[in-house]
Structure 1
Amino acid sequence: MAGISDWRRISVGRPLEPVRLDEYRPLREIVFDTLRQAIISGDLAPGERLMEVQLAEELGVSRTPVREAIRQLEQEGLVELVPRKGAYVTDISMSDLADVFEIRYALEGLAARLAAERATEEQIRELEDLLEKIDETIEAGDFRRVVELDTQFHELLYAASGNQQLQGILSQLRKQVHRFRLQSLAKPGRMAIALKEHRAIVDAVARRELQAAKERSQEHIQSAAQAYMKAGDSR
């Protein structure tokens, strides 16, 4: 319960990461973060019903923080509340997916171009170091860790653009399609292709080649869009 440090596991038909309950964060916030991460990671699949009683029991909490979390997830568009039926994880259509990537194509190119102009030497080194970590993780076959590092790479690239508004917009767009990322990267050879594309972007940024950075980033988004669409079609 709130105020007590504990490790518990939520298992709604599949194993999820342990949840830490302690006195430093509100219980409703912990429950929200846990369910949100489960949705965007795909552990709670599109169309899956969220049962308050079951979730509360498995988390070891009352139904109140679960109910509050579900309402907050609805506000983010991750959950739909259907009258007389309950709460369900929302889906994303292929049309919506295409729309997101159309916007990302333009904005990711802009972010990379700005990064080539504004990135500090330290940020460039961090990007290069991150690529090495991704390479090692691919070799280890840890798909979920690759997804986490891929997120870090893009967030660092956005930060290197020096435009906080652009960073926020792109981060939100990526969250909308995050649930397909593990599926898309799990396709044979996709991780290696993405890593090669990332290296091309960083090389252009390091050389301060603005147009090349933009083009390499947009090529990566086109490639990623194709992989995402295939992952979406295979659900």
Structure 2
Amino acid sequence: MSVAPQEGAAGTRVALEALRAALLTGDLAPGQRLVEAELAASYGVSRASVRAALMDLAAEGVVERIPNRGARVRVVTVEEAVAITECRMVLEGLCAAKAAERVDDEQVATLTALGERLRQDVAAGDPVAYSAHNRELHRLVREFSGQEVATGLLDRLNAQIVRHQFRLALRAGRPQVSLPEHLAIVEAIARRDPAAAERAARAHLVSVIAALQEPADG
């Protein structure tokens, strides 16, 4: 007995989560065509749900819709990724500063524990876990900042360069470079020092920009 595909808001949510995961891991590559019928069958949702999810991703700049030809994964060049990261640098610095002003003891403990997990990931040579914890750290800083406007802008910017971020995190030696940068952010927020937190966040993004500009095998 076949199971009816999920529809409506629930189906769209399932499709969005599946598409984001596939974009992150490279199962859907830049420039790849996105065929609604195939995606609907793969994710167990209706074509309408896939279409709605693709429209959301198009609004975020992750997918581009081509007249009479459907949709495809938008290609984001290194130059554009650098420009996006320059914008992130300002917004991430703001969020780090605001987080340092607002955090409570429980939130500090959460960030400190996450910093320890990042250390463990580097020690274990596990770049995939490091990448996941890296994203979680940035997400928590945004959440703890209470700066909803900056958070919304960052979500849109990050969605466009998620594949660049993932590939960068897996580059040999990169976690060892970014670990002390992340720990500096955590420590400044834990000290409730907004200026230091903003400097640390900006310094980290400067490092990301430099890494993006390096040859992939460099």
Q: Report the TM-score when normalising by structure 1.
A: 0.78
Asked if 1:101 corresponds to 2:85, the answer is yes
Which residue of the partner structure matches residue 125 of structure 1?
A: 109
Q: Number of matched residues?
A: 215
* 1-structure distance, mates of 2:15, 2:147: 32
Asked if 1:219 corresponds to 2:203, the answer is yes
Which residue of the partner structure matches residue 36 of structure 1?
A: 20
The one of 140, 156, 172 equivalent to 2:156 is 172
* 2-structure distance, mates of 1:72, 1:81: 11
CA drift at 1:118:
2.2
In structure 2, the gaps of 5 or more residues are none
Structure 1 or 2: larger helix share? Answer: 2
Q: Secondary structure at the match of 1:44?
A: coil
* 2-structure distance, mates of 1:42, 1:129: 29
In structure 1, the gaps of 5 or more residues are 4-20
Which residue of the partner structure matches residue 9 of structure 1?
A: none
Structure 1 or 2: larger strand share? Answer: 1
Do 1:49 and 1:89's aligned partners in 2 also have CA atoms closer than 8 Å?
yes
- Report the CA distance shift for 1:59/1:149 in structure 2 as closer, same or farther (over 3 A): same
Counterpart of 2:104 in structure 1: which amino acid?
Answer: T
Q: Secondary structure at the match of 2:135?
A: helix
* 1-structure distance, mates of 2:40, 2:155: 30
The one of 126, 130, 142 equivalent to 1:146 is 130
CA drift at 1:135:
2.2
Residue deviations 1:92-123, cap 9 Å, x none? 13332222122222222222222222221221
Asked if 1:58 corresponds to 2:42, the answer is yes
Which residue of the partner structure matches residue 58 of structure 2?
A: 74
- Report the CA distance shift for 1:50/1:112 in structure 2 as closer, same or farther (over 3 A): same
Which residue of the partner structure matches residue 142 of structure 2?
A: 158
The one of 110, 121, 134 equivalent to 2:118 is 134
CA drift at 1:77:
2.3
* 2-structure distance, mates of 1:162, 1:59: 34
Q: Report the TM-score when normalising by structure 2.
A: 0.83
Structure with larger RCO (C-alpha < 8 A, sep 6+): 2
- Report the CA distance shift for 1:115/1:57 in structure 2 as closer, same or farther (over 3 A): closer
Q: Secondary structure at the match of 1:183?
A: helix
